[in-house]
Structure 1
Amino acid sequence: MLTVRLPVPTDAEVREALPELADGAWLAVREGDGRSPATTAWVAYGEPAPTVRRDHLGEDAPRSKRNSFRISEKHGSRAHADRAKGVPPVFTVRSADDPLGSWCVVRPDPAAPQGAGAYSVTDAQGNVLGRLTRGRSPLKVRRAWTIELPETGETVTGYRGTLTAWSIFVLLFPLWVLVNLVFMVIHLLEGEWDSLLDWDWGIPRRTKWRARSLDPFTPVLLERRGSRYRRNASRLDARVAYAQMVLDSHY
């Protein structure tokens, strides 16, 4: 299992790794076994950029042509605006080895009803690598994401939070409300209006994606622990895994 993180890259990282891409990147994908994971991919919000500019991010470019804000902020602002409007996300994953090419693109699944929370992951040629669907557990309590792999016919589902974690959360719910109210007041005093409705802090997040059966030894293809993920490199395509991570952590 490989450990994966999805940090927001700094301007310096983007300028060094993606000098030809005018819009830079929204997220970096860092993966590895040790303490110094390597950047394996970049995530850009929206459809693949149709053009490439070579004078936009270079250090020798005129200062007036450089971005005066964090390069990732443009993507983050678009993602936040779409979430607020209920618009399903579209984003492009670019390999660190070939950042100018589209490693895969994630879009709403055209075969699913509108608003179904279903997405398709396609490669540069338009071939479907996987389908990701947002739903609920059988008891409708926990959020769930299902990964369908057309090539193998395999389907795996991950339910957010373990039953033990949710039981503890319910017992401590009054304290959770109090802590979130304190954070809301702090954000209000600091003028961070966008954070006032963010009540996601402290909710159980641990998730394991696997085929749902009575067999306790069913292999785990993907796992979330806090802000980190672990993927089974031999059983799950990296592109599908990265797409699921972005949707799970941001939608």
Structure 2
Amino acid sequence: MSAVTFHIRPPSERERNEAGFRLQKVIRPRRGGETVYVGHGAPAGGAGAGARPRFALYRDLAGREPLGFVVRPVAGRSSGVRLAVLGPRGEALGELETPAKRARWRPRHEIRLPDGRVLAGHGGTATSWVVFVVLSPLWLVVNLLWAVGGSGDAAWSLPVRTAWRRRQGFRAPLKYHGMTGRYRVRTDRLDVRVAYAQAVVHGSGSAS
């Protein structure tokens, strides 16, 4: 099994200064993969009528080696936002569907692939919610202590671990571990460029 583990981080000052485009994020590998730079860009030849570039993935800071692009809008029936993930030459790699703004309980993120597969990731896995409920009395005590201490912060947080898998699937091609902010993609089951794009959208909390 081939896997890539990575984080999404803000760029350093040096990277911002050296970038040949407006640099937004940096995908930093933990195991496997390569450093990828996220910023503005559009696929060569355009992305179709009405499509607007959202962001691009580059291998280099100069912006000469694009890995792929994300554009919107793409016609869809969802109440969320549909984005298209394109390769360097504008070829379709997949589509991303973000949750509707009104979605509060386990928001659903979807990856739709050209072969018809749909990978759905819900905010907080069933296991993480069970653990959360069992430990909620402890979290309540901790938060009360933090409140009394006057730190102004809260330790309470809802489960955010997310696993993208098929409806009948057991193994998830893409996982997000909320405690560490780490993503892990199985590259034999999902194009790493689509995983990178989904991670950027998921991490931003908005696709508008």
What count of residue pairs does the alignment treat as equivalent? Answer: 188
Residue 125 of structure 2 is matched in structure 1 by 162
Q: Secondary structure at the match of 2:202?
A: helix
Residue 191 of structure 2 is matched in structure 1 by 237
1:129/1:149 contact within 8 Å kept: yes
Q: Secondary structure at the match of 2:105?
A: coil
Q: CA offsets per residue over residues 165-224 of structure 1, 9 Å max, x none?
A: 22454563883876897899748xxxxxxxxxxx997221111111111x6xx3321011
More helix by percentage: 1
Distance in 2 of aligned mates of 1:179 and 1:29: 36
Residue 158 of structure 2 is matched in structure 1 by 203
Q: What percentage of residue pairs aligned between the two structures are identical? A: 28
Residue 88 of structure 2 is matched in structure 1 by 124
1:9/1:28 contact within 8 Å kept: yes
Pair 129,144 (structure 1): closer, same or farther in 2 beyond 3 Å: same
Pair 164,235 (structure 1): closer, same or farther in 2 beyond 3 Å: closer
More strand by percentage: 2
Pair 38,129 (structure 1): closer, same or farther in 2 beyond 3 Å: closer
1:157/1:211 contact within 8 Å kept: yes
Unaligned runs of 5+ in 2: 45-51
Residue 225 of structure 1 is matched in structure 2 by 177
Q: Write out aligned runs for 1:1-251 (5 A).
A: 1-15=3-17, 18=19, 21-23=20-22, 25-33=23-31, 39-44=34-39, 46-48=40-42, 90-96=54-60, 99-112=63-76, 116-135=80-99, 141-150=105-114, 152-170=115-133, 172=136, 175=140, 186=152, 202-213=157-168, 218-226=170-178, 227-251=181-205
Pair 140,12 (structure 1): closer, same or farther in 2 beyond 3 Å: closer
Q: TM-score, normalised on structure 1?
A: 0.61
Q: Report the aligned-residue RMSD.
A: 3.7
2:37/2:61 contact within 8 Å kept: no
1:159/1:209 contact within 8 Å kept: yes
Pair 239,162 (structure 1): closer, same or farther in 2 beyond 3 Å: same
Unaligned runs of 5+ in 1: 51-87, 188-198
What letter matches 2:6 in structure 1? V
Distance in 1 of aligned mates of 2:162 and 2:33: 24
Distance in 2 of aligned mates of 1:167 and 1:224: 17
Pair 111,201 (structure 1): closer, same or farther in 2 beyond 3 Å: farther
Q: TM-score, normalised on structure 2?
A: 0.72
Alpha-carbon deviation of 1:143?
1.1
Pair 201,110 (structure 1): closer, same or farther in 2 beyond 3 Å: farther
Max Rg structure = 1
